[in-house]
Amino acid sequence: MPSSSSTETLPQDAAARPLSALPGVGAALSAALERRGLRTLQDLWFTLPLRYEDLTRIEPIAALVSGQRAQVEGVISQVETGFRFRPLLRVVMEDDSGATLVLRFVHFRRAQAAQFAPGLRVRAYGEARAGAHGLEMVHPRYRIVGTTPPALAQNLSAVYAQSEGIGNARLTALMARALAQLPPAHELELLPAGLRERLGLMDLRRALLCVHLPQPGDDQAALAAGMHPAQRRLAFEELLAQHLALRRLRQQARARRAPICSDGAELQRRLLAILPYALTGAQRRVLGEIMADLAAPRPMLRLVQGDVGSGKTIVAALAALTVIGSGCQVALAAPTELLAEQHYRNLTGWLQPLGLPVLWLAGKVQGRARVAALAQLAAGAPICVGTHALMQEGVRFRRLGLAIVDEQHRFGVHQRLSLVEKGAAAGGVPHQLVLTATPIPRTLAMTAYADLDVSLLDELPPGRTPVQTVALASARRAEVIERIRFACAQGRQAYWVCTLVEESEQLDAQAAAAVHTELAAALPELRVGLVHGRMRPVEKQAVMDAFKRAELAVLVATTVIEVGVDVPNASLMVIENAERLGLAQLHQLRGRVGRGSVASSCVLLYRPPLSGTARARLHLLRTSNDGFHIAEMDLRLRGAGELLGTRQAGMLALRVADLARDADLLPAVRELADRLLHEQPACAEAILTRWFGSARRYAQA
Ligand code: ADP
Ligand code: MG
């Protein structure tokens, strides 16, 4: 990739000018900007505000909600200073709405404390949070105002992401100077005029000025809500840039060679002969699509999307046999050890009888075992299953023909690509097969996976019974425990899933251990097991095996069991704090039951009160078992970022665009992206540079 600014066809002189040329940017600031990936004026123009600070209005205290940032004004009713464990300054203010708000300071100077006195009027700006005695603002910005308060601001002010050495005030000042050098609109614009007109898109110059430096005449409310035409204009271009980046990854990948794999029919026939079931129509169709790709000299880039339990694993195994039968190797990576282990055991069960040993490589395979595994891979071992350890440096294949990644949304695009770079034959790349149970809505899939072809496994194997789902308030916990007693008395098994919001395995594990103790005491006649992410793989496996063999009646687990775990006799699942999980994740968890022929149920335990959205989401789960429908609704209720999970951030860290709100723009985005890539590659390049920075912070294929 040529670095930075050799976009000769485009008049971008100002754009490529280094930030160090701006007055006031010395060596230290320059270095801080560089660390943030900001080199040129254009890099700064496209550093969009995270949000806005609204000083144009005064919010009545009574209307404040926790988490809201707002400006308030009122009269001080009480001032309290103390030095109990550490200095403390509490100022209670009250406004005409009759409500009070506490301003709290833990770092302050004596003179500052002396400014506050009952009866004075104060205006403050900050984030309201629930404190011990109602709402409070910690370290708000404030000023004491007289009886005739100063005028309100006429416009919003932009707030940017902070980084080391570059505070908001500094960035704002720099931004104004950088924007003063914006070229005329016709020089900045890269979108075809016809398209802009058709979609009613504002010109780029105006849009940039508006989002960075809102003027009093601009629609402030629309801007604050992210619904301003300027934001929509930028959203279009950002989506276009995202799409171009992924399409280009695809183009680059497809331009390379991959091994032709069309043998292996005999191996497939032998595996099918020992399977206790026949493939569903959908499985046969998807396998056909994969085999057609594998038989071509270009790398396959295919995503198989199928609801939980739709039988993706066997499809992947059959694809693997085609590749192995053609003399190449296969790698299968899964995001968690538990899931990887399960794949390992499934594949071993299927391939061992065919004389094909399966290798295992996870992070915990160390020392001599690791050296031995790596040597076998380098020598051409047919298939290896593992975690992201497979993607690390030092892992070499002799002739990798197919890289399978399960539950892709847990891996970033870059991780997937690093597996591909493990190389096939000299100069070639392996085929890629991605499996996901996250039923991503079509609009989103075409954007998030613009580099992949999509196959749908849209049929469940026969004999499944839909899961009955109920939502119960946590006060009814005792009843739920009785339900477990009842189900287990009938020879069934149950899961109890503990969830926390924190991304902390340790806290999760502690919560699960506490529930384990509670259930073991409440259900003395039943054997209760515990599995969580902090356990050693052999321990986890021993517990899972015991549960599988029905030696344990109840399994208390963290969300480690979310993906892949398969115990058909388990017919009841309880999910704690269900309101905290995403719909897609709940649906995925719920997919752990309903795998056998007995009627299964899922109890969503929640802590009241529920917000309107949470209520709507739980209702949706109770009324639908269709993963795609649920995903579409989840997208509408929560937005794309949460649906895909933060780990997708690599490519979908959108700054202005919102895939749910801007979904209607996507068809035009796709059409234009294809046209630019084919007809105006320099223009496509310029758009990429603009959005991903002159330093190109995103990885290259
Ligand atoms: P997922 O798509 O969620 O990864 P799995 O591959 O784990 O689903 O399959 C779920 C279960 O369905 C497994 O127990 C598997 O053996 C079974 N299964 C897969 N395909 C079929 C089929 N065609 N008929 C019956 N059972 C099947
Ligand atoms: Mg699976």
Query: Phi and psi (nearest 5°) for 395?
Result: -90, 120
Is the beta carbon of 439 within 6 A of some atom in ligand 1? Answer: no
Nearest CA to ligand 1 atom 15: 311
CATH architecture designation of domain 265-457: 3-Layer(aba) Sandwich (3.40)
Would the CB of 314 count as within 6 Å of ligand 1? yes
- Please report, for residues 71, 155, 194, 228, 450, the alpha-carbon distance to residue 206 in angstroms, rounded to integers and kept in the order given: 28, 16, 18, 12, 30
Tell me, in angstroms, the distance from the centre of ligand 2 to residue 111's CA: 63
Ligand positioned closest to the Cα atom of 405: 2
CB distance 570 to 492 below 8 Å: yes
Residue 666 has pLDDT above 80, yes or no: yes
343 within ligand 1 shell (Cβ under 6 A): no
φ, ψ for residue 89 (rounded to 5)? -130, 120
User: Please, where in the chain does CATH 3.40.50.300 lie?
Assistant: 265-457, 467-624
Answer yes or no: are the C-beta atoms of 330 and 383 closer than 8 Å: yes
pLDDT of res. 423: 64
- Residue of minimum CA distance from atom 23 in ligand 1: 279
Highest mean pLDDT among 129-133, 250-254, 294-298, 538-542: 294-298
**pLDDT attached to residue 9:** 42
Question: Is there an atom of ligand 1 within 6 Å of 313 CB?
Answer: yes
Instruction: Pick left, alpha or beta for residue 689 (phi over 0 → left; psi -120 to 50 → alpha; otherwise beta).
Output: alpha
Q: For residue range 478-524, what is the model confidence (pLDDT) as tens digits? A: 999 999 999 999 999 999 998 764 556 677 778 889 999 999 999 99
What mean pLDDT comes out for the span 198-202? 92
18 pairs with which residues across the strands? 40
Read off the pLDDT of residues 372-416 as tens digits, 9 standing for 90 and up. 999 999 999 999 999 888 877 788 899 999 999 987 655 555 666
Cβ–ligand 1 distance for 438 under 6 Å, the answer no
Is the CB of 40 inside a 6 Å radius of any atom of ligand 1?
no
Residue 184 above 80 pLDDT? Answer: yes
pLDDT tens-digit readout, 631-645 = 777 766 655 444 444
CATH architecture of the region 57-152 = Beta Barrel (2.40)
Across the range 211-220, mean pLDDT stands at 91
Three-state secondary structure of 414-451:
HHHHHHHCCCCCCCECCEEEEEECCCCCHHHHHHHCCC
Q: Whose CA is nearest to atom 24 of ligand 1?
A: 461
Q: How far is the CA of 574 from the centre of ligand 2 (A)?
A: 21
Residues 357, 344 contacting (CB under 8 angstroms): no
Identify the pLDDT of residue 261.
95
Q: How many CB atoms lie within 10 A of CB 317?
A: 22
Weakest mean pLDDT among 499-503, 546-550, 696-700: 696-700
Q: Is 486 in the pocket of ligand 1 (CB under 6 A)?
A: no
Which is nearest to 415 in space by CA: 383, 389, 439? 389
Dist CA 375 CA 381 (whole Å): 9
Q: Whose CA is nearest to atom 25 of ligand 1?
A: 461
Ligand 1 nearest-atom number relative to CA 278: 23
As a dihedral over the C-alpha atoms of residue 538, residue 542, residue 548, residue 551, rounded to 10 degrees, the angle is -170
Burial of 305 (0-12, 13-18, 19+ CB in 10 A): buried
Q: In the predicted model, is pLDDT for residue 584 greater than 60?
A: yes
359 is written with which tokens? 């290798």
The pLDDT value recorded for residue 645 is: 40
Q: What is the Å distance from ligand 1's center to 346 Cα?
A: 11
Task: Kindly report, as residue ranges, where domains of CATH 2.40.50.140 are found in the chain.
Answer: 57-152
Least confident of 188-202, 413-427, 614-628, 654-668: 413-427
The rounded distance, in Å, linking the Cα atoms of 345 and 537 is: 13
pLDDT of residue 465: 78
Please state, as a whole number, how many other Cβ atoms lie within 10 Å of the Cβ of residue 147.
5
CA distances from 607 to 85, 127, 304, 472 (A): 33, 25, 36, 9
Q: Which ligand places an atom closest to the C-alpha of 317?
A: 1
Q: Which of 20-34, 46-60, 334-348 has the lowest mean pLDDT?
A: 334-348
Q: Identify whether 609 is preceded by a cis peptide bond (ω within 30 of 0).
A: yes
d(CA 18, CA 40): 4
Minimum mean pLDDT among 94-103, 289-298, 411-420, 576-585: which range? 411-420
CB 458 near ligand 1, within 6 Å = no
Ligand 1 pocket residue status of 436, Cβ below 6 Å = no
Most confident of 5-9, 162-166, 254-258, 628-632: 254-258
Check residue 484 and give its pLDDT.
96
Q: Residue 87: CB within 6 Å of ligand 1? A: no
Ligand 1 pocket residue status of 627, Cβ below 6 Å? no
Q: Check if 179 has its Cβ closer than 6 Å to any atom of ligand 1.
A: no
The amino acid that residue 665 corresponds to is L
Residues 310-329, mean pLDDT to the nearest whole number: 96
Which pLDDT score, from 0 to 100, does residue 266 have? 95
Average pLDDT over residues 172-182: 93
CA of 334 to the centre of ligand 2 (A): 9
- Measured CA to CA, the distance from residue 563 to residue 337 in angstroms comes to 11
Residue 593 · residue 572 · CB < 8 Å = yes
Please state which of the ranges 73-87, 273-287, 421-435 shows the lowest mean pLDDT. 421-435
Could you give the CA distance from residue 587 to residue 625 in angstroms, rounded to a whole number?
A: 8
Write b or e for each residue in 85-114: b if 16 or more Cβ atoms lie within 10 A of its Cβ, otherwise e: eeeebbbbbebeeebbbbbbbeebeeeebe
DSSP state of 182: P
As given in the structure block, the two tokens for residue 421 are 């770079």
Mean pLDDT of 243-271: 89
Number of neighbours of residue 56 by Cβ within 10 angstroms: 18
How far, in Å, from the CA of 143 to the mean position of ligand 1?
65
pLDDT of residue 4: 42
Q: Decide whether any atom of ligand 1 lies within 6 Å of the 596 Cβ.
A: no
437 CA to centre of ligand 2 in angstroms: 7
Closest by CA position to 660, among listed 484, 440, 503, 432:
440
More confident residue, 596 or 38: 38
The residue among 270 and 366 whose pLDDT is bigger is 270
> pLDDT band at residue 291, thresholds of 50, 70 and 90?
very high
State the average pLDDT over residues 264-291: 96
- Choice from 566, 590, 593 to test ligand 1 binding pocket (greatest atom count within 8 A of CB): 566
C-alpha span between 634 and 616 (Å, rounded): 10
CATH number of 467-624: 3.40.50.300
Name the pairing type of β-strands 383-386 and 141-145: unpaired
